Structure 1
Amino acid sequence: MFWKRIAAASVVAASVATAVVVSHEDTTGPAIEAVASTVPAFDHIVLVMFENKKYSSINGSSSAPYFNKLASQSAKFTNSFAITHPSQPNYIALFSGSTQGVDSDSCPANLGSKPNLGAQLIAAGKKFTGYSEAMPSDGYTGCSSGTYKRKHNSWVDFSNVPSSSNKRFSSFPSDFTKLPHVAFVTPDMCNDMHDCGIDTGDSWLKNKLDAYAQWAKTHNSLLIVTFDEDSNTSVNQIFTTFTGAHVKPGSYGDTINHYSVLRTIEASFGLPGIGNAAGKSPILSVWQ
């Protein structure tokens, strides 16, 4: 009877072990890695959104040396997709779990007090700040000013996100310990690659956020780099990387989209999924 119990226990243990492994591609080829049971509870998450480039325009491109250097230190998703076209509904989707019926770049998109990540964090006693480059003043609600466009600033569309959470990128702290729990960053219309080349956005990312990316690795923090949409194709595949603490660098074939990324951020802070993010599992394969 004793040996039967030992054998049965061994079968159970083997089954449990099998249940927590998946296959993904890393930089040296296919590998089997353990999957984390939860998303790490990060101190800070910074997400930066670039514009209108398909995955193949960034991945391996000589015009994007920093994107690819950063990817080699990161979890790179080879099956990451935007939700729709054009730009604005993708920003809204990532922030609120839904396009909220928005299907154009028309401004303003006033969405009232519908659920969104900023309001979730604030209700949980956490801090959210959106940083927009070239916005003329903190709390600005206008549609356009120079190279700033409100269509790329989703948090200003919701009345339950205070104006104090809407800041210029010039306010982004150099002391990263002073960052909010979650920060969204929007480069201006040139630096996000909308009006300028890939090389411009590549230099901007290196100059503005590499210091944070390297700091995040040893300070329980995360940098998410992604795109709003591709170059208006039906595939809508985009370049997305996670860089920072607890990340297992490699190329991951998980099929993800903006709702998956939102759900992962929510899970890090113990928040429930909202909208279409509620139907997504947090991304778990990339954590060590």
Structure 2
Amino acid sequence: MRIQFTALIAASLITAPSLANADEDQRVPRLDHAFVIMMENHGYQQILGNANAPFITRYARRANLATNYFAVGHPSLTNYLEIVGGSNFGVTSDNYPNWHHGPNNPNLVNPIVGTGMDVATPADTAPSNVAIPSAYYTAASIGDQLAASGMHWKSYQEDLPATGADKVNYSDGVFSNLDTIVDQAKVQKLYAVKHNPFAYFDSVQRGDNPNNSLANVVGFDGLDGLYADLRAGALPQLSLIAPNQCHDMHGATGGSALCTDEASTIRMGDKSLEKLIAAIKDSRAWHEGNNALFVVWDENDYSATPNQVVVIVDSNFGAKGTQSNKPYSHFSLLKTLEAGFGLRCLNHACDNNVSVMSDLLARH
């Protein structure tokens, strides 16, 4: 029955965009590659113009900036799931996965599968301070959609151990929660599975489709890592890129004191983004076809409402210097990616008040 259900879901994911969205979707150019770089836990006002973020401030002016973009609730994992799947799928924690349907544990997140009801988002953390009611969801992500339509995705996770992502909750790039011979208290949590949303889906944990499995989750280094793929110009259609928790502005204890200092983490995040964006733009793949790059903060730091965050949009085909005040959210980002790849909208990305970010991807 699970195989039959999966086949039905897969068939429903590859249908062309519905007529209700067709006119809007056509305003987004067909994308060959999209890069989504995830940053962490800082609101709009904390980043732009910050003396510790000079590159980001310049880049926001030179590329395109969404000035009215909102995260969807808290905490981090919830927002990551909403970016790739258009729903929180009932997950309102940063808890580790209950890998491969292990023994039931209320402190773990069961693999996301089937259908269900998500959790309502209260107004104080919802886009534009408008509460999002609970709704039915289909347990699928844009990764499922891409795989079902013959396209590819990768989740590039800095400091993922070389052994891969399966059952890894955290890692310093060498040791992880799976290593019983080391003092776990000394393992700095640079890679964090909560920043790797695809790993929470049952389809990815099972890996029945090799193009939609944990093998798609790789590090920054190594033969199949981000920098090797960029040098080779061999990129999937969708690249989700998550710097480690020292480089994404989140911060992490147990290592360098710089990783716990607010000014230093912003500075490290600024430098990390500069390096990543330069590598992407130096890649042959960036110069072939239509390619878009999104720099996204997952949420603010809980210190202010509404939950406004910085989103910078760049492309190799579009106009530069655009600032859009249209109300956008993580659901808009998902809907924009789906439109660019010719996919149907998923879950809350289909809501009537969710628009594609067409003005930030307008051609010259």
Counterpart selection for 1:221 from 291, 294, 303: 291
Output one character per residue of 1:197-254: Cα deviation in whole Å (capped at 9) or x when no partner: 2111000111122231465764321110011101113311100011112322221111
What's 2:318 paired with? 247
Q: CA deviation at 1:192?
A: 0.7
Query: How is 1:49-64 mapped onto 2 (pairs within 5 angstroms)?
Result: 49-64=38-53
Gaps of 5+ in 1: 1-34
Q: Is the 8 A contact 2:66 2:325 kept in 1?
A: yes
TM-score normalized with structure 1 length:
0.83
What's 2:248 paired with? 192
Q: Is the 8 A contact 1:52 1:231 kept in 2?
A: yes
Shift in alpha-carbon separation, 1:78–1:186, aligned structure 2, 3 A: same
Give the letter aligned to residue 246 of structure 2.
C
Q: CA deviation at 1:169?
A: 2.0
Task: Indicate yes or no: 2:189 matched with 1:163.
Answer: no
Task: Indicate yes or no: 2:239 matched with 1:183.
Answer: yes
Task: Indicate yes or no: 2:96 matched with 1:70.
Answer: no
CA distance in 2, matches of 1:247, 1:176: 24
What's 1:262 paired with? 334
Shift in alpha-carbon separation, 1:59–1:217, aligned structure 2, 3 A: farther
Q: Is the 8 A contact 2:293 2:313 kept in 1?
A: yes
CA distance in 2, matches of 1:111, 1:188: 24
Query: How is 1:20-39 mapped onto 2 (pairs within 5 angstroms)?
Result: 37-39=26-28
Percent of aligned positions that are identical: 30
Q: Is the 8 A contact 1:141 1:150 kept in 2?
A: no
* RMSD of equivalent CA atoms: 1.8
Give the match's secondary structure for 2:38.
strand
Give the letter aligned to residue 301 of structure 2.
S
Output one character per residue of 1:11-46: Cα deviation in whole Å (capped at 9) or x when no partner: xxxxxxxxxxxxxxxxxxxxxxxx994211111101
Query: How is 1:262-281 mapped onto 2 (pairs within 5 angstroms)?
Result: 262-279=334-351, 280-281=354-355
TM-score normalized with structure 2 length:
0.66
Give the match's secondary structure for 1:183.
strand
Counterpart selection for 1:230 from 293, 300, 305: 300
Q: CA deviation at 1:166?
A: 1.2
CA distance in 1, matches of 2:219, 2:63: 27
Give the match's secondary structure for 2:154.
strand
CA distance in 2, matches of 1:101, 1:260: 20
Give the match's secondary structure for 2:309.
strand
Query: How is 1:17-166 mapped onto 2 (pairs within 5 angstroms)?
Result: 37-108=26-97, 109=109, 110-112=111-113, 114-136=139-161, 137-146=163-172, 147-161=190-204, 162-166=213-217
Give the match's secondary structure for 1:203.
helix
Shift in alpha-carbon separation, 1:194–1:128, aligned structure 2, 3 A: same
CA distance in 1, matches of 2:293, 2:339: 16
Output one character per residue of 1:134-175: Cα deviation in whole Å (capped at 9) or x when no partner: 111323332122311111110111122311211112201233
Output one character per residue of 1:111-139: Cα deviation in whole Å (capped at 9) or x when no partner: 13611110000001100110111111323
Give the match's secondary structure for 1:141.
coil
Shift in alpha-carbon separation, 1:261–1:36, aligned structure 2, 3 A: closer
Moved more, 233-242 or 204-213: 204-213
Q: Is the 8 A contact 2:26 2:339 kept in 1?
A: no
Give the match's secondary structure for 2:59.
helix
Q: Is the 8 A contact 2:113 2:140 kept in 1?
A: no
Q: Is the 8 A contact 1:74 1:247 kept in 2?
A: no
Give the letter aligned to residue 200 of structure 1.
M
Give the match's secondary structure for 1:175.
helix
Q: Is the 8 A contact 1:176 1:212 kept in 2?
A: no
CA distance in 1, matches of 2:95, 2:50: 32
Higher strand fraction (1 or 2): 1
Shift in alpha-carbon separation, 1:176–1:270, aligned structure 2, 3 A: farther
Gaps of 5+ in 2: 1-23, 98-108, 115-138, 173-189, 205-212, 252-258, 260-264
Counterpart selection for 1:209 from 259, 277, 280: 277
Q: Is the 8 A contact 1:139 1:165 kept in 2?
A: no
Moved more, 137-146 or 74-83: 137-146
Give the match's secondary structure for 1:202.
helix
Give the letter aligned to residue 242 of structure 2.
T
